[in-house]
Amino acid sequence: MQPEAEPSSNPPASSQESAPPAFTAAPRPRYTTPSIDALTLPDTFDDFIRLGDAAPEPPPPFWSNLVRAATDTIETGLQRGTGVLNAANEVLPSLSAVFSDRTARSVNDDSTSQSATRFAPRFVQLRLLRAAPAAMLLVPSRAAVISDVVIAHLNSTRPNLFPLDIAPDEPPTTSSAASVTSPSSASPTLRSHGRPPTRVTAAAYMPRAARFFLGVSTNHVYSMSSDMGDRRQSRVLRSVPTSIAVSPDERLLYVGTSDGYMHIMEPGLNLRVTFLPPEIVSASLGSAFRHAPVSHVAAVQSGALVCYEEGAVCSINTNGDLLNSPFIAHARRTSSALSFFGVLVLTIGDASDPSMSLFEISTGRCLFRRMLAYTPTCLKRVSRSSNVTVIKGEVCPSEVTFIVGGDEAHVEVYKVAVLSPMKVEVNRVYTVNERIRGRDRHVVDMHYLPDDAVMLALLACGEVRRWHFTKSQANALSLIEEHSPTQPTFTEQNVVEATEQDFGLPDYGRHTSTNVLKAQTVLAAILDEEVVPEQIKDNLVTEFTKEQSSMVAKLVSSDTELRRARRRILARFSTGISADNELGSLTERTLARASKRMAAMEMEMVTRQHSATLRDIQRETVIKLKLMLKNVFSAPAIARSESQGLQQAKRDVEEINPNDGQIGWS
């Protein structure tokens, strides 16, 4: 028997926070907050991704003050004389140096294994909505930003704005069992103007069914299509839905409420099971709390993770019919959680406990804990690229990479490293954004698009920011390239053999570029021609020898660095590599296999990076060799020659493309 709960009636969110003051710095345009009806968005989602390169970038408030000060000084100089004007002009070079120095700063990680890199502030800054946004969901080929007012689609044609006015005819039920209302009586109605009497408290998207699931402050859960074209369904719960998650197989819908209840539903909003609030011992008061509100629900392969306001974390099994005993993760609120390898759970706290912790799901044993310099507000896993197929038994970087967003628009990328069954690390990889001053600048939601190598962050003030990753950085987060069949493949089995011998270690003499061979063929043809002066031949041979010797030296250095990197990886994961996969508990066996797979993944990543370095070295050499050959053919005596061999050699030089050269690997 479930206990009765008083219905919660939250007043409508009728107050709107004004937008932060617009930046003004000539000749940059003034940034204003557009109205919903006059909202201007990119025509396509690709335009939204690429807009950051062309969009003007407003300076932060502090630097904006410096710009205003320099501008005022120049205007004063125009009025008071050229002497003051010259003095004011001297301020601008130093101001430009400050900007360039601020852009080029890097933040070093406190871990010894990796260093964190800060990206240049290239981003799209769009004031999408005047109302506070609730979530940002990734819909195929577009993004959807949901607020209390509208669902804004950035789609492939023109952006669609669907104003939300969710006003159910029936009041929230007070019975112990939730009920389903008919679509005609409680479906959302669309209205072009006016603020809705309710606010969105939770949102989720189901890709296969192409449906949104919205939880609102009137204790309702709504199901509606992504194009808002069909009839909608709703269900009244006991209290306000605080978090909604869709299972990976899209068979179940997990809904947590403000009174601690967990509702397991089917996609049609048919109630399957309801879990009573568990007995949670408060870490701050040391007493049992039964009605701790649900703060976040995360769907994982093994079921779901439920986070509570009192710092506890519970797990639900795959069938959704068992709620395991909770364990305390933080002193106060557990904001979000992620699962790794099915046996580890990573959590973040709130302002009272701004930390990041890693636990065993089965026992609640803490394996890692780190205090953050900011208050975390959002935790998201990096998605896997749709262009890459991961072989079974291998670990893709996206499986161990996650993003943490916090107040003042902090965004950082971390990786989980299972060194052994008893030791797990969490290392910071990139610091994407450090700090943005202003009101309501904390991260509400964020996503990483591996196919486009773009990260999107939604701020509480309604702004959407995006950062673009380079190819090498994107490969470090989520593989975007298929494995080359000419390179050695590291797996869970052969990584053990790599500790005993130099498995697949290359030799610089085995690296051959087709373009270098073509350039050498052209050189041989030039040396055979009698019309070419001997001095030109001697100079050409000398320069060719010099460039090829420099290339070989760089290849040797790259191979040496690869050997050192592999030895460091094997030494770092030595305990996990030597661990037995069949001994210990289920968690220890799983972590032992995960450690071997992560060691193989690290070996694979340094091998890919080494291949990219080889391509860059040989591309640079081919460009120089091609330029030398073209200079020879541009000589007057050789240009007037009608020799068939020189004409063919000239055509061969034009066919050399430094970007298309193949590198042999034996």
Cβ atoms of 191 and 165 within 8 Å: the answer is yes
Contact assessment for residue 164 and residue 151, using Cβ atoms and an 8 Å cutoff: yes
Question: What is the helix (H) or strand (E) element at residue 625, kind and residue range?
Answer: helix 586-633
For residues 501 and 289, the model is more confident at 289
pLDDT at 346 over 90: yes
Whether 405 has a pLDDT exceeding 90, the answer reads: yes
What DSSP letter does each residue of 334-379 carry, written as one string?
Answer: --EEEEETTTEEEEE--TTS-EEEEEETTT--EEEEEE-SS-EEEE
- pTM for this prediction: 0.71
Beta-ladder partners of 357: 347, 369
* Cβ atoms within 10 Å, residue 247: 20
* 91 vs 416: which has the higher pLDDT: 416
Percent of the chain with pLDDT over 90: 14
Tens of pLDDT, residues 604-623: 888 888 888 888 888 898 88
pLDDT of residue 34: 37
Say how far apart CA 299 and CA 305 lie, in whole Å: 6
Check pLDDT > 50 for residue 460.
yes
User: What was the pLDDT predicted at 25?
Assistant: 38
Name the amino acid, one letter, at 275.
Answer: F
Confidence of residue 26 (pLDDT cuts 50, 70, 90): very low
Q: Are the C-beta atoms of 181 and 235 separated by less than 8 Å?
A: yes
337: confidence class by pLDDT, cuts 50, 70, 90? very high
Distance linking the first and last C-alpha atoms of the chain:
69
CA-to-CA distance for 105 and 108, rounded, in angstroms? 10
- pLDDT band for position 23 (50/70/90)? very low
Window from 132-146, 187-201, 459-473 with minimum mean pLDDT: 187-201
Neighbour order of strands in the sheet with 376-381: 117-118, 423-433, 411-420, 401-406, 376-381
Q: How far is it, in rounded angstroms, from Cα 639 to Cα 601?
A: 53
The secondary structure element, H or E, covering residue 64 is: helix 61-80
Mean pLDDT over 199-219 rounds to 89
- Report the length, in residues, of the chain: 666
- Average pLDDT over every residue of 64-71: 52
Determine how many CB atoms are found less than 10 A away from the CB of residue 575: 15
pLDDT at 581: 75
Indicate if the pLDDT at residue 426 is higher than 70. Answer: yes
**How many CA atoms are closer than 13 Å to the CA of 108, on its beta-carbon side?**
4
Q: Is the pLDDT of residue 339 over 50?
A: yes
Q: In terms of Cα–Cα distance, which of 187, 190, 186 is closest to 171? A: 186
Cα dist from 627 to 460, 519, 586, 631, whole Å: 53, 10, 61, 6
**Cα(97)–Cα(115) distance, integer angstroms:** 25
Predicted confidence band of residue 356 (pLDDT cuts 50, 70, 90)? very high
Res 495: pLDDT: 67
- For residue range 106-149, list pLDDT tens digits in order: 333 333 334 455 554 345 555 555 667 888 888 876 778 887 77
User: C-alpha distances in angstroms, 484 versus 47, 199, 476, 617?
Assistant: 32, 50, 16, 19
pLDDT at position 194, please?
46
Q: Is the peptide bond before 27 cis (omega within 30 degrees of 0)?
A: yes
The CA dihedral of 509, 515, 517, 521, to the nearest 10 degrees, is -160
CA distances from 100 to 94, 196, 363, 640 (A): 10, 45, 50, 50
Return d(Cα 256, Cα 274) in angstroms, integer.
10
Does the pLDDT of residue 501 top 80, yes or no?
A: no
pLDDT at 637 exceeding the cut of 60: yes
Q: Which residues pair with 234 in a beta bridge?
A: 181, 222
CA–CA distance, 314 with 327 (Å, rounded to integer): 7
Question: What pLDDT is attached to residue 404?
Answer: 95
**Helices and strands, counts by H and E, the chain:** 13, 32
Residue 394: its pLDDT value, please?
A: 67
288: phi then psi, degrees, rounded to nearest 5: -80, 135
- List the structure tokens of 48: 């939204």
CB 42 within 8 A of CB 126: no
Whole-number pLDDT of residue 287: 64
Instruction: Give Cα separations from 583 to 10, 30, 320, 340, 421 (angstroms).
Output: 53, 65, 30, 20, 11
Give residue 491's pLDDT.
Answer: 66
From the list 396, 400, 408, the residue with the least C-alpha distance to 457 is: 408
For the segment 296-319, the average pLDDT, to the nearest whole number, is 87
The overall average pLDDT reported for the chain is: 72
Average pLDDT over residues 215-243: 84
